[in-house]
Amino acid sequence: MKVASNKIIDIKSFTRKHLKGLYPEEEINSFIYMLFEAYCGLSKTELLAGKREYINESELLLVYDAVKALEQHKPIQYILGKTTFYGLEFKVTPAVLIPRPETEELVELILKEHKNNTGLKILDIGTGSGCIAVALKKNMPGCKINAIDISTDALAIARQNAKNNSVDLTFFSADILNENQWRELGTYDIIVSNPPYVLESEKKMMQPNVLDHEPASALFVPDTDPLRYYEAIFRFARHQQKKTKIYLEINESKGPELITAAIRNGLSEVAVIKDLNNKDRFLYGSINK
């Protein structure tokens, strides 16, 4: 791997040559714009307008290393150490999942119904980067939002993201599967979660950038127990003995099973909601006590 020169035109050519066949052309172009903006301070507009012809050696090294990492299918978000979610910037590392557009839709479902409400208590289960909790707090400043995760590394990232986005959240290290911890968590008006839901058998359909780099514990569940986190969330909601609304991201193949499980656990008004790609992606339900 060698770059012909420090000229931007040569660096673009180098990047396209080494990533060709690994990514679609449109995505490669997107990578180029992102790398030049992050490492060289050049916006897409400035890059296209030819504002600079050369970059310096330190900038070149950063771009070079990023292209090598992209060749190994490392996600661009981990390379840059950040991503955007619901219009906010979030720090991301391999300790947390990269937030997806579908999860923005989950946030939107809650805001659509509750944005003007104040005084609500909300729990985000399996917060990861904190993207759901931070986005909700930014748009519902009058609500109290707590977030839990079993990963101390993830919680450290989430706390940093809350600080960077100037929101006040409370984070707990807790495992929703551990019923002995439920009492410590308190009670809530809204429970939201994007729990692990990808089946182990679905690994073969996943891209290397996800499979080889994102945290498996935040993605996968055994085929023999695919609803384990949902069942625990349903039982926790019922355990609270109060009126609670529940919003969950789900595996598109598990909608009917989840409706049955939710009703069996005492939820009412249960519905599966499709995402913008017309896939079953969210479950809504409520505990009316």
Residue 50 and residue 142 share a domain: no
Mean pLDDT of 46-65: 93
Do both 169 and 28 map to the same domain? no
**How big is the CA angle at 247 (ends 127 and 219), to the nearest 5 degrees?**
45
Give pLDDT tens digits for 184-227.
Answer: 999 999 999 999 999 999 998 888 888 889 999 899 999 999 99
Would 141 be classed as within a structural domain? yes
Roughly how many angstroms between the first and final C-alpha of the chain, as a whole number? Answer: 64
Q: Residue 158: which pLDDT band, with cuts at 50, 70 and 90?
A: very high
Rounded to two decimals, the pTM is 0.94
Shared domain check, 50 and 133: no
Residues near 94 by beta carbon (within 8 Å), at least 6 away in sequence = 78, 213, 214, 215
Within this chain, do residues 106 and 52 fall inside the same structural domain, yes or no?
Answer: no
Residues 20 and 156 in one domain: no
Between residues 242 and 289, which one has the greater pLDDT? 242
Letter for the amino acid at 27? E
Q: How many CA atoms lie within 13 A of 177 on its CB side?
A: 10
Residue 88: inside a domain:
no
Residue 196 located in a structural domain:
yes
Closest CA to 176 of 237, 219, 229: 229
- pLDDT at residue 289, rounded to an integer: 72
Average pLDDT, the chain: 95
* Residues 158 and 214 reside in one and the same domain: yes
Q: What is the pLDDT of residue 4?
A: 65
Q: Residue 276 — pLDDT band, cuts 50, 70, 90? A: very high
Tell me: pLDDT of 142 over 80. yes
The percentage of the chain sitting over the pLDDT mark of 90, rounded to a whole number, equals 91
Pick the last residue of a domain from 19, 42, 72: 72
Residues 177, 60 within the same domain: no
Q: What letter represents residue 149's amino acid?
A: D
Shared domain for 133 and 184, answered yes or no, is yes
Same domain, 192 and 133: yes
Q: Is residue 80 part of a domain?
A: no
Whole-number pLDDT of residue 151: 97
Amino acid letter, residue 54: Y
Classified as helix, coil or strand, 272 is strand
Residue 3 has pLDDT above 80, yes or no: no
Number of structural domains in the chain: 2
**Least confident stretch, 27-41, 84-98, 205-219:** 205-219
Of 256, 266, 265, whose CA–CA distance to 283 is shortest? 256
Residues 183 and 68 in one domain: no
> Domain of 223?
94-287
The answer to whether the beta carbons of residues 67 and 18 sit under 8 Å apart is yes
Answer whether residue 79 is part of any domain: no
Does residue 84 sit within a domain?
no
Give me the CATH number covering residue 148: 3.40.50.150
Distance CA 19, CA 1 (A): 12
Per-residue model confidence as pLDDT tens digits over 102-133: 999 999 999 999 999 999 999 999 999 999 99
The helices-and-strands tally (H runs, E runs) of the chain is 12, 11
